[in-house]
Amino acid sequence: MDAQAFREFGKAAVDFVADYLENIRDHDVLPSVEPGYLLDLLPKQMPETPETWSEVLKDIDRVIKPGLTHWQSPNMHAYYPTSVSYPSIVGEMLASGFSIMGFSWICSPACTELEVVVMDWLAKFLNLPQHFLHENEGPGGGVIQGSASEAVLVAVLAAREQAVRRLRLSQPELSESEIRGKLIAYSSDQSNSCIEKAGVLAAMPIKLLPAGEDLVLRGDALKHAIEQDVAAGLIPVICIASLGTTGTCAYDDIESLATICEQNDVWLHVDAAYAGGAFALEECSELRRGLERVDSLNFNLHKFMLVNFDCAAMWLRDANKVIDSFNVDRIYLKHKHEGQTQIPDFRHWQIPLGRRFRALKVWITFRTLGAEGLRAHIRKHIRLAEQFEDLVKADERFELIAPRALGLVCFRAKGDNEITSQLLQRLMERKKIYMVKAEHCGQLFLRFAVCGMDPKPSDIEFAWTEIESQLTSLCAEQQVNSRKAGELSELTHHLSGLHLTNETLQR
Ligand code: PLP
């Protein structure tokens, strides 16, 4: 493909995406394909001779689009939002156009330095403690990881390596493998699956501590677990708290956890993958309580900051702890400016060597929307969730399972789990809206997350009408079925009476 064809293909693709996003409400949020649908539509081998881009674009419409779940639809209410905005798409396109590798400063100074700039902009926007800023000249700073899972894994691995080094000095009688075999980490039973997975990948068990009835993990639960484990000869390493759990967006008590971590030399990481966006709002300042005492934290711009996947911000109070843990060098990776503050070689802050120019889409998004636009976006999600919460509260057939938190409402149909389960099944079959279920204390509930590129109050009304009307018809069907069942049992009873009479007659 030459540059001219690229111009034409690229422009057609931009039109295609703009049409897709502008008309996203035309599609059911869930696709209507069966497993294996694509395998039947495509040849088993790549084409031997080149095809035209227009043929390929037609196939994107014919083959790919029908198999998409439309995450940018305002009728998407499952999981948490996955952000996108037009400026961010352009940023992604430009970054692909440059196709640079930003693993060290010399590999593209603009990539490293723009990341330093936007991570400091973001830290200030979110009102994070000063020590997380690069401009403070170390040792703290921010970095963009691919996902929250990677950020958590980096924190877990760094905490583990720091603990091993510390213990080798303080307990020289223990071998390294003995130390590694005793390490233990903590999180809440409400935390995201990526935290348990980080433990598996780091070969360090993560104990999932019971959150309170309000789904909050507090210092007393951590203290109790640490005391038990230390008595059993184990070595506590890290606690991963959540600000905004995946199930109900509950906020762990960072202050009390920090106290226990400080007393026990335990790294405290905060996973604020979704809720971190709310740190920017003065009315949510409570959420930031205790952040000045944590060692590291992560927040997904691709969830709540209008930047498309992948873009997970992570801040470290002392980045040297990660750099020292991960620093594996080769002569060909060295350059004459390495080690200078404010020009970090981000390859030491992450798992892979290569790194994408993610800061570009962040910078373009922040500049074209401004802090004002970003705050308005978060407030809009909160307002829409409040609208949905009011609808739930006004219908006595439903109940909230937890207080609304930011753009998430957790609710269920009153009664046993079966009715909520059947309601969800019906909604999934109809494909008009998409929610997922969760469970708390044996109660099944539905998570309604405000998602999509541009959700509006009318979309919330649409979702609510779909939910409540399906409950109405489900209940009506159940009434008909139970009436039929009643009639049937009456008839059976009657027939068995007749049978007896016949027998009697025969006798
Ligand atoms: N943490 C929380 C609280 C989440 O809700 C999620 C995903 O929804 C994750 C972590 C994992 O995020 P990622 O897909 O970026 O790894």
**Nearest atom, ligand 1, residue 149 CA:** 16
265: preceding bond cis by omega (within 30 degrees): no
The pLDDT, as a whole number, for residue 94 is: 97
- CB proximity list for 436: less than 8 A, separation 6 or greater: 78, 79, 446, 447
Q: Which of 75, 192, 298, 300 is catalytic?
A: 192
188 lines ligand 1 (CB under 6 A): no
82 lines ligand 1 (CB under 6 A): no
311 lines ligand 1 (CB under 6 A): no
Q: Which domains does the chain have, with CATH numbers?
A: 3-68 (1.20.1340.10), 139-327 (3.40.640.10)
CA 300 to chain centre: 7
- CB proximity list for 334: less than 8 A, separation 6 or greater: none
The pLDDT, as a whole number, for residue 441 is: 85
**Nearest atom, ligand 1, residue 146 CA:** 15
The pLDDT, as a whole number, for residue 18 is: 97
For residue 199, how far is its CA from the centre of ligand 1 (angstroms)? 15
For residue 305, how far is its CA from the centre of ligand 1 (angstroms)? 14
The pLDDT, as a whole number, for residue 498 is: 64
Residue 170 near residue 127, CB atoms below 8 Å: no
Dist CA 133 CA 3 (whole Å)? 41
Choose one of 300, 302, 350 to mutate for the ligand 1 pocket test, by most ligand atoms within 8 angstroms of C-beta: 300
The pLDDT, as a whole number, for residue 193 is: 93
420 lines ligand 1 (CB under 6 A): no
81 lines ligand 1 (CB under 6 A): no
The b-or-e profile of 470-491 (16+ CB within 10 A means b, else e) is: bbeebeeeeeeeeeeeeeeeee
145 lines ligand 1 (CB under 6 A): no
Which residue in this structure is represented by tokens 């149909």? 413
108 lines ligand 1 (CB under 6 A): no
- CB proximity list for 457: less than 8 A, separation 6 or greater: 384, 387
**Nearest atom, ligand 1, residue 79 CA:** 8
Q: Which sign, positive or negative, has the C-alpha torsion 115, 121, 127, 131?
A: positive
The pLDDT, as a whole number, for residue 334 is: 81
The pLDDT, as a whole number, for residue 501 is: 59
To the query of whether residue 23 is one of the catalytic residues in this protein, the response is: no
The pLDDT, as a whole number, for residue 491 is: 77
For residue 149, how far is its CA from the centre of ligand 1 (angstroms)? 7
Q: Whose CA is nearest to atom 12 of ligand 1?
A: 148
Alpha helix stretches (DSSP H) within 44-171: 53-59, 86-98, 109-125, 148-170
pTM: 0.92
| pLDDT per residue of the chain (507 residues) written in tens, 0 to 9 | 999 999 999 999 999 999 999 999 999 999 999 999 999 899 999 999 999 999 999 999 999 999 999 999 999 999 999 999 999 999 999 999 999 999 889 889 999 999 999 999 999 999 999 999 999 877 999 999 999 999 999 999 999 999 999 999 999 999 999 999 999 999 999 999 999 999 999 999 999 999 988 899 999 999 999 999 999 999 999 999 999 999 999 999 999 999 999 999 999 999 999 999 999 999 999 999 999 999 999 999 999 899 999 999 999 999 999 998 888 878 888 887 887 767 888 989 999 999 999 999 999 999 999 999 999 999 999 999 999 999 999 999 999 999 999 999 999 999 999 999 999 999 999 999 999 999 988 899 999 999 999 999 999 999 999 999 999 999 998 888 877 777 777 777 777 766 655 565 555
For residue 245, how far is its CA from the centre of ligand 1 (angstroms)? 9
> What letter would DSSP give residue 263?
H
For residue 60, how far is its CA from the centre of ligand 1 (angstroms)? 29
427 lines ligand 1 (CB under 6 A): no
The pLDDT, as a whole number, for residue 423 is: 97
